[in-house]
Structure 1
Amino acid sequence: MKKFLLSLIIISFGFSFFIISCEQKNTKRSEPKAAKINLGPTFDSTLVRPFFKKYPELQEYQKEVTQLYLKRDYQYIWYDKKGILEVGHLLYNKINHLEEEGVKTTIPYKKKLNAIFQNSAAFSKPDATDELFMSSYYFLYVHKVLKGLDTKKTIELGWFLPRKKLSYVNYLDSIIANPSLIEKNEKEVFGQYYSLKDVLQKYKKIAKDNPWDPIETDTSFVAFKPGDSSQTIAQIRHRLFILGDLTNDSKSSTYDDSLITGILKYKKRMGSLKSNHITKKTIASLNIPIVDRIKTIMVNMERCRWITADIAASKELIVVNIPSYELTYFKDGKTVLTSNVVVGKDLNKTAIFSANMRYIVFSPYWNVPRSIVKKEIEPGIAENKNYLAQHNMERINGAIRQKPGPKNSLGLVKFLFPNPYSIYLHDTPSKELFNREKRAFSHGCIRIAKPKELAMEILKDEPIWTPEKIDSAMNKDKEVWHTLKNKIPVFIGYFTAWVDADGVIHFYDDVYQRDEQLATLLFDE
């Protein structure tokens, strides 16, 4: 009997242990995930779709608004217990002053937006409709001010530089954490944007405070030279004072040294040749309405929205601005070389794109493009059977190329950054073109005034490439290829307004007539 009871106890204990073990295993297997911490009140997710149905002019932001609240479990973003947060008020202020950001557009449902902030709602409990309005206006703001036109549109405009990539759903986290970023954030926005924005406010003040009556000249006017006197000179002096090229207005009608300084400063800002003569062209430039200058600034602020901000962080960078006909080479953010350039003529526009420079080719052959062979070489051969020999050209594998030498169309060196547009930088025997004010003469490639200096600067960290060796390589009768140790980003851009490091605004001729096309897309008239 005792043995039976002992066996029964052991069996019971074992069965109990088995049950407990099973319960523990089952508990572990079906353990629920940790609940998310709710940081604030939420609203009903089913309210989103009806909101955008009721306010269709905001529907383009519906997808991002939905993503925003899915990420946040439909918690209120713009409210706390006291009402609308500081960041909400900052956003409202920005929406009310979009023109300061170079944006001219109509704000949909503006009365409704005003009512949110002007009534007691700003200090009351959260309202789902107002919350959705605020998020919609956030996306309206970042699209207009930070993103700009969509990539498809910019490609249609011939802009093939890489666009910045930024999730504006995630970007809101940064703004909420640091509301001052809504004022300025050079980590995400190309710094030139803020420089243009500052100048925009100055030019708007000029437009507000000053009449812009045309500077008049008589029909016999050709040019003013230092020492000349005319009432027109007093008008020019006043205009330069208003624009900031003169520090004071003496109201003198005599062309004196002070006015020479102002004229030279103005011409430099306009990309004009250095001359102290005041010509009809100078006066025509001074007569461009200030509202047109403002429009140009706004157009170029838009172009800044398309540029990735980290371009400035590149260890090395070569930038060509087509309208200014200038190349700038940066190392560690500092300018180490500037050079005049010649760009493509209107029928052979230089493309707006970027690529990495990989090679320098000294004493290059010029493989003549088929289009040039057909339009220029074949007619030349038809008239002169010695055309090829006289131009140091030869036929090879059915194509035509020009041999290395001082008369080679590519000059003595070229710089290659492989791209689908067959564009590169190169020397040229036609040096006189660099002295002209307008320099759009090429078939699309970019001719540089300082090719040897550029090669020397690029190869500065390669001791084997002494100035003597570079000079020798540039004057051989055969090609010499060199592969760069480090690829150098080359950006070819298009800016008709640019603020330099000293905060001075420069305006350049719209060489390819791109500004008006962009302005038509930007401004709601």
Structure 2
Amino acid sequence: MPHPLNLQGSPMFTRLPRLPMSLLICTLLAQLLFSAPPLLLAGEPQALPATERIKQRFTSEEGRSWLTAGEESVYSYDMAAVFYQKREYRPAWAGSDSRFPQADALISSILQAYEEGLTPEYYHIKPVEALLAALRARLANNLTPDPAQVADLDVLLTDAFLLLSCHLSNGCINPVMLKAEWFAHNEKMDVTALLEKSLKENRIKETLTDLTPKEKLYTRLRPALARYRELAAQYPAWPEIPFASPSLKKGMRDGRIPAIRQRLAVLGDLPAGENINDDFFDAALVRAVLSFQTRHGLDADGVIGAKTIGAFNVSPAKRVRQIEINLERLRWSFRNPGKRYLLVNIANFELDVVEEGETVMTMRVVVGKPFWDTPVFSKKMSYLVLNPPWNIPRSIAVEEILPKVRRDRQYLLKNNIRVLRNGSTIQGQQLQAIEWSRLSIDNFPYQLRQDPGPANPLGSIKFMFPNEFDVYLHDSPNKGLFQRSVRAFSHGCIRIEKPVELAIHLLRDSQKWTRETLLAAIREGREQTVPLPQPLPVHLLYLTAWVDGKQTVQFRDDIYGRDRVLDESLPANQLPAKMGNTSKAP
């Protein structure tokens, strides 16, 4: 039976070279999953003891093609081979009486993985439970344990632990393989040594619990997943509310309003008992609509238009999937973010300054437009630049500036843009002699630099955290864009709403820099580099679902299509049958 994570046919996944055995990168385990081999030959001799059976599976040429009972495969084959080799292939879980005393702890952790947005079937839960019950039944009847069953169960438990430990600590999918703009930090971990230590100390469940992310962004999202799973089970049908002009406003009557009231009540935005069947748009409904719009990143105007109707029609089942996807993202990265850091949620167009777990400053940001996606990564901010010049990227120079210069030879002068070649400024007759009409993407030997000033898109301050993408935070002369609800207009860098306030906050431990001295330096107009007294991490994340400090579940649109890519790569977590019913949504 193919494993739920077998994505071998997907073109974005390719088989990787075998990793060094002593130090394994957990996030690359997904590659082994997708090309995982089966385990036990049907005609294997039945008399072999469990130790010899395990040795054959990990030392023979045919080992990679063998199946365990229930036709389960070993997906962490290379890691399991290292683990058993260190043990001289003795069973690790069976115990002296073959009762597998620590199997129950692992089974409990596997079942609990459902709360993390993971599927217990990833981790052999059904064959493990069946084999354990069969072995314990034999012992209860004073029968000798079947060595084949002992070997199968031992290997499956090992594989399940190795898989689950990697998935909890670094996620199921390697983000870099999904798209180039994901550069999440993944720690190296020898999970075979971790398993051996956990077995010796009888701490299987505790170890797996310790690997689960502890940051609030992650832990707050788990109860939201449980809540939306309950809603999805209670309302498997989620009829669409139709949109029709004009938009619905306070004081209007409309036949759709009772359904809207009921939906807002189900989702928690309208208090129970608020005239659910009334078709009148009253003040209470306005408050509920504002609540819904705010937590879905819509224009909070209290008017029910097409976008609000569209958000009403997203079913709880789709929200469940959205939450699962974002839990996976948080397993990739954002571990140990630091006591003091900047967090930019690209999908929310917002920056938070966090200190000791509390948000002390928030501001709006403008991020990259589609096709100029702002990447996801973490780096340390160490300095800022006052009155920065803009070294215009070659792609922008050729695709956007060059056509404007062809139409208006004075464009560069009007916008304080200098032309350089090999670092030297071109002026006078040499500048006039450039034949702009003959230049192209393949023939553009110049660099363009815009001097500081009112037209410079970097504004008065640039916040630097050196990285391979040349992405940074900066001021912007175009303040109007910060009033938009969707703020994806840049070429990838992040424009911030309150640059002076952020700079003053970051420089607050400096005796030299106050608000007055900072503003005076900006007015001077001279480029100046200012080191931060205390460098701090900057985390750029892409979250379309999270729970804020007020315990409000927030959803955002997938502006870059990244949810879709991850949804296609991460197998869906099916609801248990016992949770289903036939209730209809309002």
Same fold, TM exceeding 0.5?
A: yes
Q: Which residue of 2 aligns with 1:520?
A: 568
Which amino acid is 1:432 matched to?
G
Q: Quote the Cα distance in structure 2 between the aligned partners of 1:491 and 1:218.
A: 39
Q: Which residue of 1 aligns with 2:107?
A: 92
Q: Quick one: structure 1 residues 122 and 468, their matched pair in 2 at CA, closer, same or farther if it must change by over 3 Å?
A: farther
Alignment of 1:137-216 (within 5 A): 137-151=160-174, 153-154=176-177, 156=179, 158-172=181-195, 173-174=197-198, 177-181=202-206, 184-185=209-210, 190-210=215-235, 212-216=237-241
Q: Which residue of 2 aligns with 1:117?
A: 132
Answering whether residue 320 of structure 2 is matched by residue 294 of structure 1, we say yes
The answer on whether the counterparts of 2:173 and 2:569 sit within 8 Å (CA) in structure 1 is: no
Q: Quick one: structure 1 residues 132 and 494, their matched pair in 2 at CA, closer, same or farther if it must change by over 3 Å?
A: same
Which runs of 5 or more structure 1 residues have no equivalent in the other structure?
A: 1-40
Answering whether residue 89 of structure 2 is matched by residue 63 of structure 1, we say no
Higher helix fraction (1 or 2)? 1
Normalised by the length of structure 1, the TM-score is: 0.83
The answer on whether the counterparts of 1:229 and 1:254 sit within 8 Å (CA) in structure 2 is: yes
Deviations 1:361-417 (A, max 9, x none): 111111222222222222222222221222132334253222212222111111111
Q: Quote the Cα distance in structure 1 between the aligned partners of 2:83 and 2:128.
A: 20
Q: Quick one: structure 1 residues 334 and 216, their matched pair in 2 at CA, closer, same or farther if it must change by over 3 Å?
A: closer
Q: Quote the Cα distance in structure 2 between the aligned partners of 1:87 and 1:248.
A: 47
Residue of structure 1 aligned with 2:333, choices 304, 307, 310? 307
Deviations 1:165-199 (A, max 9, x none): 33322333348544553674377555533332221
Residue of structure 2 aligned with 1:278, choices 296, 300, 304? 304
Which amino acid is 2:66 matched to?
K
Q: How many pairs were matched up?
A: 482
The answer on whether the counterparts of 1:105 and 1:524 sit within 8 Å (CA) in structure 2 is: no
Answering whether residue 477 of structure 2 is matched by residue 446 of structure 1, we say no
Q: Quote the Cα distance in structure 1 between the aligned partners of 2:466 and 2:543.
A: 23
Which amino acid is 1:485 matched to?
P
Q: Quote the Cα distance in structure 1 between the aligned partners of 2:246 and 2:342.
A: 40
Q: Which residue of 1 aligns with 2:525?
A: 477
Q: Quote the Cα distance in structure 2 between the aligned partners of 1:63 and 1:145.
A: 19
The CA deviation at 1:146 is 3.8
The CA deviation at 1:293 is 1.1
Structure of greater Rg:
1
Larger displacement relative to structure 2 (94-103 or 318-327): 94-103
Q: Which residue of 1 aligns with 2:7?
A: none
Q: Quick one: structure 1 residues 481 and 215, their matched pair in 2 at CA, closer, same or farther if it must change by over 3 Å?
A: same
The answer on whether the counterparts of 2:232 and 2:315 sit within 8 Å (CA) in structure 1 is: no
Q: Quick one: structure 1 residues 309 and 439, their matched pair in 2 at CA, closer, same or farther if it must change by over 3 Å?
A: same
The answer on whether the counterparts of 1:237 and 1:249 sit within 8 Å (CA) in structure 2 is: no
Larger displacement relative to structure 2 (403-412 or 136-145): 136-145
Q: Quote the Cα distance in structure 1 between the aligned partners of 2:269 and 2:100.
A: 44
Which amino acid is 1:423 matched to?
V
Alignment of 1:201-280 (within 5 A): 201-210=226-235, 212-217=237-242, 219=244, 221-250=245-274, 251=276, 252-280=278-306
The answer on whether the counterparts of 1:226 and 1:260 sit within 8 Å (CA) in structure 2 is: yes
Q: Quote the Cα distance in structure 2 between the aligned partners of 1:287 and 1:225.
A: 19
Partner SS state of residue 281, structure 1: helix
The answer on whether the counterparts of 2:106 and 2:204 sit within 8 Å (CA) in structure 1 is: no
Q: Name segments (4+ residues, structure 1) moved above 6 Å.
A: none
Q: Quick one: structure 1 residues 72 and 475, their matched pair in 2 at CA, closer, same or farther if it must change by over 3 Å?
A: farther
The CA deviation at 1:70 is 4.1
Partner SS state of residue 58, structure 1: coil
Root-mean-square deviation (Å): 2.9
Residue of structure 2 aligned with 1:54, choices 66, 77, 80? 66
Q: Quote the Cα distance in structure 1 between the aligned partners of 2:85 and 2:216.
A: 33
The CA deviation at 1:457 is 0.9
Deviations 1:324-366 (A, max 9, x none): 1111111232212111111111121111122211221111111
Q: Quote the Cα distance in structure 2 between the aligned partners of 1:152 and 1:131.
A: 31
Normalised by the length of structure 2, the TM-score is: 0.75
Q: Quick one: structure 1 residues 440 and 109, their matched pair in 2 at CA, closer, same or farther if it must change by over 3 Å?
A: closer
Answering whether residue 463 of structure 2 is matched by residue 415 of structure 1, we say yes
Q: Which residue of 2 aligns with 1:495?
A: 543
The answer on whether the counterparts of 2:392 and 2:449 sit within 8 Å (CA) in structure 1 is: yes
Q: Quick one: structure 1 residues 477 and 346, their matched pair in 2 at CA, closer, same or farther if it must change by over 3 Å?
A: same
The CA deviation at 1:263 is 1.6
Partner SS state of residue 405, structure 2: helix
Which amino acid is 2:296 matched to?
M
Deviations 1:227-247 (A, max 9, x none): 222232221121111112223
Q: Which residue of 1 aligns with 2:442?
A: none
Q: Quick one: structure 1 residues 249 and 366, their matched pair in 2 at CA, closer, same or farther if it must change by over 3 Å?
A: same
| Percent identity of paired positions between Structure 1 and Structure 2 | 32
Answering whether residue 505 of structure 2 is matched by residue 460 of structure 1, we say no
Q: Quick one: structure 1 residues 460 and 87, their matched pair in 2 at CA, closer, same or farther if it must change by over 3 Å?
A: farther
Partner SS state of residue 226, structure 1: coil
Q: Quick one: structure 1 residues 477 and 111, their matched pair in 2 at CA, closer, same or farther if it must change by over 3 Å?
A: closer
The answer on whether the counterparts of 1:405 and 1:476 sit within 8 Å (CA) in structure 2 is: no
The CA deviation at 1:120 is 4.8
Q: Which residue of 2 aligns with 1:128?
A: 151
The CA deviation at 1:211 is 5.0
The CA deviation at 1:77 is 3.7
Which amino acid is 1:431 matched to?
K
The answer on whether the counterparts of 2:383 and 2:463 sit within 8 Å (CA) in structure 1 is: yes
